[in-house]
Chains A and B, each alone.
Chain A
């Protein structure tokens, strides 16, 4: 069966690979280690070689249906079982079920005397026997170089080890050979890597500032592409987890759904609808600018919608966060009780950056939140360098995006530092960046907020002052003065000035109105008077006209009477004479 499988594999053009079952490693190597061939795992003391090898076998036996043999040259079997138990592996049960075979090869140098030619047939026979007993497909030799310390004649030993590898390959056993690396310029102490030409993985265990970091690198993988970076890995009660930085790719979905920030006016600043679901939001600012408060608003809004929230508190304890938020009228406790909000609080210094990432992953995978808050990411710098934090965040953001989880990261800006430059390292990972800042003016320190960037949406360019009231965070109206945005009492006095100016304008207007009215009244009065005068004059004139007409008639009448009295028979002539002057006039 085994032989048949191998025969089928041989003509295939691409290298066939055997999954290791180690979380993350199969992604880096594109499917595991070379099937039916030896892989060298090299590393310094305590770098996790044995655990790597153990997990390779246990995963093979339990998940991939490939029984395995562990040949230990160093640790005794009881020790091995105890160590494996720390990873949550029950070797006893696997051995009882014939899925695993453990053999400890102990040689004590003192016992050995070299008397001539020898070979390692004893070892071959032991391995063959073990493999045959359980039908093994995998084997681990941990660490075969120990033989060099215990057997004489390195020349023979090297030749024999070479023969052993060829023999293992011939049998199609997927092999992991561990080797001690005591010098950085060499992969193994005795140079056995030259016999293992297919795949070499180096494990490393570094201590920086008292915090340990484990790293893994695929140095060589003949006939296959592989990730060449150094990948951090972790060993915990569930085994090894390698955290590939780039294995996830950039193919996550981009939801168009928008979710409220929990602050109406902030939603307004973000195109009126809030954040995109699944986006990553950076909330940066100096201390005491209200980062946690903004995050808490978002959390409460999400809980109200019935979404789960996971809050990673790296600075404050959950009770502290709850108490502090209560002071601004946000009660988180009911949501915790309802199981919608979960806190995970830990000092980052508790473990290395990888451990934090792993814990984060695990919490997210188990709780399945819609919202994640990391408060603050800057505390991670306490345990690691900027580069590592950045790489960790990249992976975290990738992971969150794949899961369409909206995440808020708060970041503490050092006072005095440039607000925007200091976060440049992580900002490119973020979709939306809200900057909170304290504006100090006129002996006051006021809080302001603005949207530095927000990908894919219309957003406000304003700097908005906000206050933390008993009823939550409130964004205020904008007042711009000659020196920028006006806040606090400067804003209040500006408001006052504007009110006063308005009043006086109104008063002036009213005054003018009154003026006009008065003028009109005067005008009208004058007009009345003039009219009265005119009328009086007119009356007088007309009267005089009437009088003079009357006088004329009287004159004529008098003249006529006179003529009539002077010539009693010439009255007709007198009448004609009287008419003539009237006509000529």
Chain B
């Protein structure tokens, strides 16, 4: 489910996001646990609300690609890595605290 819902698992040549789709988010999960599912749902809602059309979510299941955990230094699950815009930030937890997620995304001023 989360994987299928991902807007674009592949990076190049995305038709839908516009040129300023500068939000590149990567969500790390480990299997489809309730926590993971919840995190994805929460993220989806927030993005739709604040970043509509300007974001890209990539979901990585570490059970399938364990070696990817090293690249982004993933320890806790779920972890959301904000690859763009810089700087790279991490948000851990199931993203149920929306206010804090917005702080993490540095979107509060925008709102």
Residues of chain A at the chain B interface (Cβ within 8 Å):
103, 105-107, 111-126, 128-129, 147, 151-152
Assembled-state Cα–Cα distance A103/B88 (Å) = 21
Chain B residues positioned under 8 Å from A125 (CB to CB): 30, 62-63, 66, 69
Contact between A122 and B93, CB atoms less than 8 A apart: no
Can you list 20 residue pairs at the A/B interface with Cβ under 8 Å?
A111-B88, A113-B92, A113-B100, A114-B97, A115-B91, A115-B97, A116-B39, A116-B94, A118-B79, A119-B35, A119-B77, A121-B30, A121-B33, A121-B62, A121-B76, A122-B62, A122-B79, A124-B30, A151-B75, A151-B76
Chain A residues positioned under 8 Å from B70 (CB to CB): 103, 126
Contact between A129 and B73, CB atoms less than 8 A apart: no
Assembled-state Cα–Cα distance A122/B63 (Å) = 9
Assembled-state Cα–Cα distance A103/B70 (Å) = 8
Which residues of chain B from 77 to 96 have a CB within 8 Å of any chain A CB? 77-79, 88-96
Q: Top 6 A-B pairs ranked by shortest CB distance?
A: A113-B104, A116-B93, A129-B66, A121-B30, A116-B96, A115-B93
Chain B residues positioned under 8 Å from A152 (CB to CB): 92
Assembled-state Cα–Cα distance A152/B33 (Å) = 21
Contact between B91 and A122, CB atoms less than 8 A apart: no
Assembled-state Cα–Cα distance A107/B33 (Å) = 24
Chain B residues positioned under 8 Å from A117 (CB to CB): 35, 93-94, 96
> B74 on the interface (CB 8 Å rule)?
yes
Among candidates B33, B67, B77, B101, residue contacting A115 with C-beta atoms closer than 8 Å: B101
Residues of chain B at the chain A interface (Cβ within 8 Å):
28, 30-31, 33, 35, 39, 62-63, 66-67, 69-70, 73-79, 88-97, 100-101, 103-104
Contact between A126 and B89, CB atoms less than 8 A apart: no
Assembled-state Cα–Cα distance A121/B101 (Å) = 21
Assembled-state Cα–Cα distance A135/B8 (Å) = 36
Minimum CB distance partner of B29 in chain A: A121
Minimum CB distance partner of B106 in chain A: A113
Chain A residues positioned under 8 Å from B92 (CB to CB): 112-115, 118, 151-152
Contact between B30 and A115, CB atoms less than 8 A apart: no
Minimum CB distance partner of B89 in chain A: A111
Chain A residues positioned under 8 Å from B63 (CB to CB): 125
Among candidates A105, A118, A122, A147, residue contacting B94 with C-beta atoms closer than 8 Å: A118
Chain A residues positioned under 8 Å from B88 (CB to CB): 111
Assembled-state Cα–Cα distance A121/B36 (Å) = 11
Assembled-state Cα–Cα distance A9/B93 (Å) = 39
Nearest CB on B from A143, distance (A):
14
Chain A residues positioned under 8 Å from B73 (CB to CB): 105-107
Contact between A129 and B69, CB atoms less than 8 A apart: yes
Nearest CB on B from A421, distance (A):
62
Chain B residues positioned under 8 Å from A115 (CB to CB): 91-97, 100-101, 104
Assembled-state Cα–Cα distance A147/B63 (Å) = 22
Chain B residues positioned under 8 Å from A112 (CB to CB): 90-92
Minimum CB distance partner of A150 in chain B: B75
Contact between A120 and B75, CB atoms less than 8 A apart: yes
Assembled-state Cα–Cα distance A129/B62 (Å) = 10
Chain A residues positioned under 8 Å from B28 (CB to CB): 122
Assembled-state Cα–Cα distance A107/B94 (Å) = 18
Contact between B67 and A129, CB atoms less than 8 A apart: yes
Minimum CB distance partner of B91 in chain A: A113
User: In this complex, which of B91, B92, B97, B103 has the most chain A Cβ atoms within 10 angstroms of its Cβ?
Assistant: B92
Given contacts A114-B93, A115-B94, 18 further A-B contacts (CB under 8 A): A106-B73, A107-B75, A113-B89, A113-B90, A114-B97, A115-B92, A117-B94, A118-B76, A118-B92, A118-B93, A120-B75, A120-B77, A121-B76, A122-B76, A122-B79, A125-B63, A126-B75, A129-B69
